[in-house]
Structure 1
Amino acid sequence: MMKNPVIKEKAGDPYIMKDQDKYYLVATGGGKENVNEFVCWQSSDLADWSEPISILKLSEVSWAKTNGWAPCMVEVDGYYYFAFCADQQIGIAVCNQPMGRFHDLLGKPLIAKEDYDFQTIDPVFLKDDDGKIYFAFGQGRCMISEINLTPTSAEFVGEMICLSEMLYRQSSHMRDQFDISIYNEAPDLIKIGEKYLFSWSVYDVLDYRYGIRYAWSKYPMGPYYMPIDFERDNILMQGHHDITGCGHACITEYRGEYYIFYGRHSKNWWAEGIGRDICCEKIIFEDEYHLKAIPRAISED
């Protein structure tokens, strides 16, 4: 079992790419809560991580210099694509190795802040078994589309679909009445068996209730259904006692088991302002559709 926190540096918004037998972790911050530079950690077992390596600085990006947040990464045909937030827009960079250095692919945002009427942040990739790549993003709403990636281009394919509207419909809730407890931000997508798992964060990152909900689908672009009824909710993980702010997560597989990496408030963070810790929990499959992960204390075996 991995110990918490999984890395010693203060950081949040973790994303893990599995590439053959290696795992690569990227996040917001890394050591000094630096929001103008992205770093990457490497591991073979999700427990022991390398020192962070700088892979992209916003000083090397022409269209934004601040607020480097919430990155993700995917491998396609021997190249690695790194999507990241900057200036509340989403960019994409490319390199022939996961530890960089990456260079900005387009010389402009892949998704600009004026493209949508919600905050265009929090990208995530889904690589399907057939090699197709899907790209989801958004705070306030969540959109998804297939995307074609080459070392010289990044282009969306077909229709852009709103995943969060599916959640509102299932909740009998009108989309124009935004409810932060249904969907807020930080989508994540992974295929487990023959189903696709969509998870996301609810409430705000500064809220002690910040947590993670989930839904399932037979198809990567939905429709997704939350496994809820009168007896059960679809909270995958939420804090308890003095563990708060558990959210913006990524799920990955290791030796047939599934683990959720997430950021949470550091101890005494309100008083000391010391940021977030990246932690990890094993996911418990209660049955075919219901999942649970319980946040553990720091440095608990």
Structure 2
Amino acid sequence: MVRVSVFIWLLLVAFGVKAQQPETSGNPVVEGWYADPEGAIFESKYWIFPTYSAPYGEQTFMDCFSSPDLVNWTKHAHVIDNKAVKWARKAMWAPAIVQKDGKYFLFFAANDIQSDQEEGGIGIGVADQPEGPYKDYLGKPLLDKFHNGAQPIDQFVFHDKDGQYYMIYGGWQHCNIVRLKDDFTGFEAYADGSLFKEITPEGYVEGPFMFIRNGKYYFMWSEGGWGGPDYSVAYAIADSPFGPFKRIGKILKQDLQVATGAGHHSMINVPGTDDWYIVYHRRPLGETDANHRVTCIDKVEFDADGLIKPVKITFEGVSTRDLR
């Protein structure tokens, strides 16, 4: 029977008949409970680095996923965990990934600290390939204190057009931007001697993200409560990464025909094009457990003035877009 099946397969290949592939990614794009997804492109592949969505005590590792075409995804399990990061005990959250000098740096938050007296905050893992395994880069948190009221969580690493790397982060309705040292071992002071500049816009709760399009800085963030149906994404536009950022409006929110709690996102831009995708989490209809969140992808479009059109969240997801 096996030989017959192989023979039939060879005949199909010889006559150019291919196995039918899915036309769209579908949403969610991967199986399992995952949230806070960071999307990226490395080595001619799309990557997603999410939070494992479970009770805090079970959030002791992170998986990631790769795809050549946005539709077919491969899971890479336990790319980092608290065995490699000794100071991380729980709540390993919201990864942010950067490739620099031949290394991959995975920024993450851990322990959900509530004060400066607790151990935890934002740390960094380092690896030679996107799928890890990652080891603790510093052996301690990069940031373990509150500044300007911002809880040290939900970090995003922004690479500006002048080559400078910034970390934009913050929970508890405050957001800071800090200049990273070139080797990511700490922070550099601004010209006025300060280290932490607050750029919190109206409505900000957590989950910052920034990108440049047509010379403008788009700053995005999550609003509402992460465990509720009103979680959503809003944005602002400015001429610099420091703002000022005046809230324009929401571009991602629940659709009671599709899902609730749509938020904590990132963006993927196909190199050399103006094609953009939003990677985000949401809660399936009927789910009441706050941790029952899934990772999804939908298309993002802009109007003639450069404003982001409201995103329609879908079950279909996005069409195949091969990077190879």
Provide the TM-score with structure 1 as the length reference: 0.84
Structure 2 unmatched ranges of 5 or more: 1-23, 113-120, 320-324
Q: Aligned letter for 1:244? A: T
**Matched residue type, 1:163:** I
Deviations 1:123-147 (A, max 9, x none): 1011223322111100120101221
Which residue of 313, 320, 324 maps to 1:295?
Answer: 313
Q: Report whether the alignment pairs 1:141 with 2:174.
A: yes
CA distances 1:134-163 after superposition (whole Å, capped 9, x unpaired): 111001201012212427x34344242111
Alignment match of 1:250 (pick from 243, 263, 266): 266
Query: Deviation of residue 31 (structure 1)?
Result: 9.6
Q: CA RMSD in A?
A: 2.4
Closer/same/farther in 2, CA of residues 283 and 117 from structure 1, 3 Å limit: same
Q: What's 2:198 paired with? A: 162
- Pick aligned residue for 1:74 from 79, 98, 105: 98
1:84 aligns with 2:108: yes
Q: Which structure would you say has the larger Rg?
A: 2
Gaps of 5+ in 1: 169-181, 228-233
Deviates more, 1:97-106 or 1:47-56: 47-56
Distance in structure 2 (CA, Å) of the matches to 1:238 and 1:154: 35
Residues 74-153 of structure 1: pairs in structure 2 closer than 5 A: 74-88=98-112, 89-114=121-146, 117-139=149-171, 140-150=173-183, 153=185
CA distance in 1, matches of 2:136, 2:299: 35
Counterpart CA distance in 2 for 1:300 and 1:25 is 15
Distance in structure 1 (CA, Å) of the matches to 2:316 and 2:227: 19
* Residue 116 of structure 1: how far off its partner (Å): 5.6
Amino acid in structure 2 at the alignment position of 1:236:
I
Note closer, same or farther for the CA distance 1:195–1:108 as it changes in structure 2 (3 Å cut): same
Equivalent pair of 1:259/1:283 in contact (CA under 8 Å): yes
How many pairs align? Answer: 278
- Aligned to 1:285, the other structure's residue is in SS state coil
> How far, CA to CA, are the matches of 2:68 and 2:189 in structure 1?
34
Are 2:227 and 1:195 equivalent residues in the alignment?
no
**Secondary structure of the structure 2 residue equivalent to 1:60:** coil
Residue type at the aligned position of 1:275: H
1:193 Cα deviation after fit:
2.3
Q: Take 1:250 and 1:299, find their aligned partners in 2: how far apart are those partners?
A: 15
- CA-CA distance at 1:115 after TM superposition: 5.2
Aligned with 1:237 (options 239, 252, 260):
252
Query: In structure 2, what is the Cα distance between the partners aligned to 1:37 and 1:190?
Result: 28
Q: Secondary structure at the match of 1:222?
A: coil
**Of 257, 277, 292, which aligns to 1:259?**
277
State yes or no: 1:7 paired with 2:22. Answer: no
SS at match of 2:83: helix
Residues 108 and 69 of structure 1, relative CA distance in 2, 3 Å threshold: same
Percent identity of equivalent pairs: 27
Could you say if the C-alpha distance between residues 186 and 44 of structure 1 is closer, same or farther in structure 2, counting changes exceeding 3 Å?
same
In 1, distance between residues paired with 2:214 and 2:307?
14
2:40 maps to 1:17: yes
Q: Deviations over 1:268-298 (max 9, x none)?
A: 211x677111111111212323212111136
Conservation of the 8 A alpha-carbon contact between 1:145 and 1:221: no
SS in 2 for 1:275: coil
TM-score (structure 2 length as normaliser)? 0.79
Change (3 A) 1:59 1:236: same
Distance in 2 between the 1:186 and 1:24 partners?
18
C-alpha contact (below 8 Å) 1:213/1:237 kept by paired residues: yes
- The letter for the 2-side match of 1:17 is A
How many angstroms does 1:114 deviate by? 4.7
Deviation at 1:71, TM superposition (A): 0.8
Structure 1 residues 186 and 52: CA distance shift in structure 2, 3 A: same
